[in-house]
Amino acid sequence: MDKPVIMTVDDDPGVSRSVARDLRRRYGQSYRIIRAETAAQGIESVRELRLRGDDVAAILADYRMPQMNGVEFLEQAMDLYPYARRVLLTAYADTDAAIQAINVVDLDHYLLKPWDPPEEKFYPVLDAQLDAWQRTDRRETDELRVVGARWSARSYKIRDFLARNQVPYRWVLADSPEGSELLAAAGEACTIGPAKLPLVITAGGAKLTAPGTAELAEAVGLSTAPATDFYDLIVIGGGPGGLGAAVYGASEGLRTVMVEQHASGGQAGQSSRIENYLGFPDGVSGSQLADRARRQALKFGAELLTARKVTSLEVKGQAKVVGFADGGSIAGHTVILATGVSYRRLNAPGLDDFIGSGCYYGAAMTEASECRDREVYIVGAANSAGQSAVHLSGYASRVHLVVRGDGLERTMSHYLIEQISQLPNIEVHTGTEVVGGEGDGHLERITLKGPDGERTVDAEWLFVFIGAEPFTDWLGDTVERDGRGFILTGPDLTSGESRPRNWPLRRDPYHLETNVPGVFAAGDVRADSIKRVASAVGEGAMAVALVHRYLEQA
C-alpha cells in the first residue's frame, strides 16, 4: 500500500523547500511529502491524489498566497479529503485570521512562522495531528449500518448513542432503495413497521430490531459488565468530573470503575468546540476531549461501564453498594458522584411530542449535516447555546438564537459573543421565548413570544439549551441535597455547631464529601459548583485526593 501523503502549499519557494525538508527529515519513512508553490497547483495535486485513491493525512497551507489564501485553499481541499488534518502556516500579524479560520474551515491547528527549532515548535504539533488522523475511522463505508426513518425519535436516539460513544456507523433511510434492500435481506420487508425501526446491522451481520442502549452497547463491543464486584473507587457519571476522577483514581493505584448511562463526556461531550479550555489554543470538540480522557483512563487501568443506569446507593457497614436498573450491583470503599446535569425541558405546549423528531435537548451533533441550507432555532444564552449556534452556522442558511433575557453578556463568554456578532447568518432574538410547537409526525412550526407579541414561524429544527437539572432523586434520603436537588458537600453541610444528618465521625466532612463518609461529589451536580469543564475536571481530581485521605483514616 502506498504511503499516506503530507502536503504543503506555500508560494514562497524558499519557505516551501524548507517546510518540505523538515517534513521529510521527520516523516519521510512513513509518509510521502508533496509540496506545491501555488494554491492552484496544490488543488490540482489534491484532485490527482483523490483520483488515484491515495490517502492524505495532513495539509499545511500558507495563509498569504495570491489568488487564493490558505483558508480558501483548505476549504476546497477538505471537500476532497474531509479527514485530512488542516494546518495553517501564518505570520504573527495574521493570527486573528488564523483564529477565525478555526470556525470557517474547522482548522485543526495554526503554526507561526518561523518555527526554529522544529524539534520544539513544529514536530510536536504535527505528531499530535498525525496521531489524531491515524485514530480517525476513514472507511468510505462503515460496517455498522442503522436503517431507520428520518423523523423517528427512536432512530435519533440510536444514532446519538453511537456517535457520542465514538462508534462509526452508516445511516440509511428505510424508504431509500438501499434501505429497502437491507430490510428485505434482513427478512423484515413485509413486517417492518415504525415500532420495529431502527434496524441495526452489525459488522458481523447480527440484526438488532429497535435495540435498547444496553443491547446495542454490548453488540458494538462497549463494556457493560463489571469485571469484579468490589472496587476501591466507584465513579458514577462520565462527564468531565467523572472522567477526571477516573483518570486520577486509576493513575494513583486505586481499583477504579466509572459507570455511565449514556456516553463519556456528558453535556460537554456534545459541544461542537470548546475554545477556553486550558492547553487547547485552537479549541477542541467535546467529543475529542471526552475520547482523549476516556483513552487516558483506560491506559491507567480504569474500568469504564457504558449503558448502565444507577438507581440506588446504600451504605452497608464500611461498604457503599451501587444498584443498577437491571437488578445487578457493585460495591466499593468509596464513591464519587459526578452525574452532572441535564437541560431543562421547555414548558411549551406541543413540544414534548417532537423530542427527537425536530426538537433536541443539547447539541445533537448527528443532526448538523441534515440542517444544511435550512433555518434552525436555538434556545439559550449560555456557552453551550453559543457554541452550537457558531457550529450550525456552517450548515444552516440562518440560525436564530432565541434568548429570554435582554442580551448575552451576563451568561455567555466574551469570545463567543464576538464570534456570533461576526457571523452574518446568526440572528439573536432577545426578550423572546418559545411558547408552542406543532407539526404532523415531526416539528414543523413553533410559536415565539417576543416584545411585539406572538408569531408562528416555520421551524423543523429546534435545539434547546436552558437551565440545568441534576436528576438526583434516585439517591433518596441517603445523600443530602438542596431544594433544587444539587448535592450538598463539605462546609455547606454544617451550620454553626450543627452536624450533618446521621454523620457518625468526629471530624467534619471534607470539602467535597457528602453527609455520607466516603461518598463525594464533583462537577455540576454539586451545589454551588462552577459550571465549567475545567472546574469539573479539577473537582474530579480533588475528590480523588480526598478519597485517599478517607481511606488512610478508615
Among residues 384, 349, 347, 345, which one has the least CA distance to residue 361?
Answer: 345
| Boundaries of domain holding 503 | 230-342+469-553
Write down which residue in 92, 109, 135 finishes a domain: 135
Domain shared by 278 and 413, yes or no = no
Q: What CATH number corresponds to the domain at position 162?
A: 3.40.30.10
Measured on CA atoms in the order 495, 500, 505, 507, is the torsion positive or negative?
A: negative
Beta-sheet strands, E only, within 3-72: 5-9, 32-36, 56-62
- Burial label, 271 (beta-carbon count in 10 A; 0-12, 13-18, 19+): buried
DSSP string, 319-384: EEEEEETTS-EEEEEEEEE----BPPPP--TTGGGGBTTTEEES--GGGGGGGTTSEEEEE--SHH
Domain shared by 338 and 473, yes or no = yes
The structural domain count of the chain equals 4
pLDDT of the chain, 554 residues: tens digit per residue: 579 999 999 988 888 899 999 999 999 999 999 999 898 899 889 888 887 778 999 999 998 888 788 888 888 888 888 889 999 888 776 677 667 666 666 788 888 887 888 898 899 999 999 999 998 866 554 478 999 998 999 999 999 999 888 888 889 999 898 888 888 777 754 445 555 789 999 877 788 998 999 999 999 999 999 999 999 999 999 999 999 999 999 999 999 999 999 988 888 888 878 888 888 877 788 888 898 899 999 999 999 999 999 999 999 999 999 999 999 999 999 999 999 998 889 999 999 999 999 999 988 778 888 898 999 999 999 999 999 999 999 899 999 999 999 999 999 999 999 999 999 999 999 999 999 999 999 999 999 999 999 999 999 999 999 978 998 999 999 999 999 999 999 999 986 566 787 898 989 999 999 999 999 999 999 999 998 899 999 999 999 999 999 999 87
Domain shared by 334 and 413, yes or no = no
Q: What is the pTM of this model?
A: 0.77
Whether residue 140 lies inside any domain: the answer is: no
Q: Which residue has the cell 431509500?
A: 176
Q: What CATH number corresponds to the domain at position 499?
A: 3.50.50.60
Domain shared by 240 and 325, yes or no = yes
Helix axes 70-80, 95-104, angle to 10 degrees: 20
Strand partners of residue 487: 481, 526
Among residues 193, 243, 199, which one has the least CA distance to residue 219?
Answer: 199
Whether residue 225 lies inside any domain: the answer is: no
Domain shared by 114 and 9, yes or no = yes
Domain shared by 357 and 334, yes or no = no
Whether residue 222 lies inside any domain: the answer is: no
Domain shared by 314 and 270, yes or no = yes
Digit-coded pLDDT (tens) for 138-153: 655 447 899 999 899 9
Domain shared by 158 and 117, yes or no = no
Among residues 431, 436, 458, 432, which one has the least CA distance to residue 447?
Answer: 436
Domain shared by 381 and 489, yes or no = no
Domain shared by 151 and 265, yes or no = no
Q: To the nearest 5 percent, what fractions of the chain are helix, strand and coil?
A: 35, 25, 40
Beta carbons within 10 angstroms of residue 64's beta carbon: 15
372, 395 in Cβ contact below 8 A?
Answer: yes
Q: What CATH number corresponds to the domain at position 89?
A: 3.40.50.2300
56, 29 in Cβ contact below 8 A?
Answer: no
Distant-in-sequence, close-in-space partners of 194: CB < 8 Å, separation ≥ 6: 149, 152
Digit-coded pLDDT (tens) for 245-278: 999 999 999 999 999 999 888 888 888 788 888 8
520, 543 in Cβ contact below 8 A?
Answer: yes
Give residue 516's Cα distance to chain centre: 32
Domain shared by 248 and 194, yes or no = no
